[in-house]
């Protein structure tokens, strides 16, 4: 049974309501609110190691993770988003990272083909949710790895695509042809930034955060040529996943203790909203990884 979050009225704890259909029914005045899919971290933990951040011996404190996840969810709701929830499943600790479910394009959901079998088990769960909620679910050909919105981000009309660690360049080409969009592959050269959304964050068409050390010279030239306003994130704050941010209009929600990023965002006319997410950093994730924008990111030209 899935759960839908209802924002609390007045004081008191948030209330979870049981529902078979997790699609919220906002009032007409809220019809255009951003829609975000999240999954509560009931079964989150470090049960395997598939990126440099993960260490099973350190593990994660589930109670702290749930508190941080709840704060993120409430922050997004407070900024005007409608948060829909996917029911957590035992044995799928990374189901909480909904950004990797697939890629959204209008009513189309291109389901991910995960490189690691431990995460491939998530796909049937994600697919079932999208089918139940009225989306057209599509699949890539076999032997093509593509990890959804973790490695494919629109900035304007261009789909920027990270490859090497988790997703394949040929898979990005297949996606671009299927959607009829221009795709620019970017090789990720630092294993700590294994998904594109850990080192690149479009804020609006032609504007993006990025961590230069995650890309090779060719990738940097591609970004400099096609994104007129690039805001660099320094090494320390990139390691805190400052680039792994959720953009809602002029508000940018990201992990805590990123003061230089906050100042840079303010200088560009954005509001920095910090949320402590260190329990998820242990698995190589942060704010963006924990969310999937169902109606399209603000920076995507097709979204408007």
Please provide the CATH number assigned to the domain covering 2-303. 3.75.10.10
> Could you give the residue numbers annotated as active site?
195, 289
Helix (H) or strand (E) holding 3: strand 2-6
Over residues 180-206, the pLDDT tens digits come to 999 999 999 999 999 999 999 999 999
Over residues 17-27, the pLDDT tens digits come to 223 233 333 33
For the segment 135-148, the average pLDDT, to the nearest whole number, is: 96
- No. of helices (H) and no. of strands (E), the chain: 8, 17
pTM over 0.85: yes
126 or 24: which leads in pLDDT: 126
Q: What is the pLDDT of residue 37?
A: 98
90/102 Cα distance (integer angstroms)? 21
Closest Cα to residue 274, out of 72, 81, 83, 82?
Answer: 72
Over residues 266-294, the pLDDT tens digits come to 999 999 999 999 999 999 999 999 999 99
Q: Name the average pLDDT for the chain.
A: 91
Q: What is the pLDDT of residue 303?
A: 79
The C-alpha torsion from 32 through 37 and 42 to 44, rounded to 10°, is: -140
Indicate if the pLDDT at residue 31 is higher than 70: no
Q: What is the pLDDT of residue 25?
A: 36
Degrees (nearest 5) of the Cα angle 123, 126, 128?
Answer: 105
Banded pLDDT at 12 (limits 50, 70, 90): very low
- The burial class, CB within 10 Å (0-12 / 13-18 / 19+), for 38 is buried
């Amino acid at each position: 049974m899935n759960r839908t979050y209802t924002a609390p009225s007045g004081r008191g704890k948030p209330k979870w309501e049981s529902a078979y259909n997790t699609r919220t029914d906002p009032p007409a005045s809220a019809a255009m609110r951003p829609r975000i899919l999240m999954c509560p971290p009931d079964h989150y933990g470090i049960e395997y190691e598939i990126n440099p951040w993960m260490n099973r011996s350190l593990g994660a404190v589930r109670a702290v993770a749930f508190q941080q996840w709840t704060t993120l969810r409430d922050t997004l709701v407070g900024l005007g988003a409608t948060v829909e929830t996917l029911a957590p499943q035992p044995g799928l600790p990374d189901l909480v990272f909904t950004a990797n479910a697939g890629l959204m394009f209008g009513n189309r959901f291109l389901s991910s083909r995960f490189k690691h079998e431990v995460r491939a088990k998530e796909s049937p769960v994600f697919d079932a949710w999208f089918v139940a909620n009225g989306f057209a679910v599509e699949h890539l050909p076999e032997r093509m790895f593509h990890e959804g919105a973790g490695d494919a981000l629109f900035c304007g009309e261009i789909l920027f695509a990270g490859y090497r660690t988790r997703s394949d360049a040929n898979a990005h080409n297949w996606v671009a042809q299927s959607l009829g969009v221009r795709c620019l592959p970017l090789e990720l050269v630092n294993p700590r930034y294994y998904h594109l959304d850990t080192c690149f964050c479009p804020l609006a068409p032609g504007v993006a955060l990025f961590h230069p050390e995650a890309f090779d010279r060719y990738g940097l030239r591609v970004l400099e040529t096609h994104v007129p306003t690039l805001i660099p994130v320094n090494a320390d704050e990139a390691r805190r996943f400052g680039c792994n941010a959720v953009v809602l209009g002029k508000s940018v929600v990201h992990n805590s203790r990123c003061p230089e990023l906050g100042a840079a965002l303010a200088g560009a006319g954005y509001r920095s909203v910090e949320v402590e997410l260190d329990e998820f950093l242990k698995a190589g994730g942060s704010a963006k990884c924990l969310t999937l924008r169902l109606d399209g990111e603000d920076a995507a030209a097709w979204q408007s």
